[in-house]
Amino acid sequence: MDQQKKTLIDPKDKTFQLRGSAKPRTSVFISKIFLKKFDEVDIHALGDAISGAVRCAETLQRQGLATIQKIETLTQTLENGKKQKIIVSLKVTQDGKKRINEEIKQ
């Protein structure tokens, strides 16, 4: 069997582009990596991925790891038409920062 090689996620900026195929637990975990590095994350999602972005942000806030600072919606023009887009901005809480640092040892 061919195993995938695991690599560390090292974001370059605070923008997390969520894909429609991402599982909710994976999205939350990746968002925690962004929060650990930048103390903020902007979750961007197009079309069908919007519900995943909202679920991810709501989960982080409900767990007390981050607070939702801003929710922005817009229509983005693509080559094959237009799609709805959402940007959810989150900021880590003091307790969240401590808990994320304990959970993620990168």
Looking up residue 72, the CATH number of its domain turns out to be 3.30.110.20
Query: Strand 40-46 vs strand 15-17: parallel, antiparallel, or unpaired?
Result: parallel
As for how many domains the chain has, the answer is 1
8 in any annotated domain? no
pLDDT in tens, 43-90: 999 999 999 999 999 999 999 999 999 999 999 998 989 999 999 999
86 in any annotated domain? yes
* pTM score: 0.89
73 in any annotated domain? yes
69 in any annotated domain? yes
2 in any annotated domain? no
Cα gap 105→33, rounded to integer Å: 10
What confidence score (pLDDT) does residue 4 get?
66
82 in any annotated domain? yes
Among 78, 98, 59, which Cα is nearest to 88's?
59
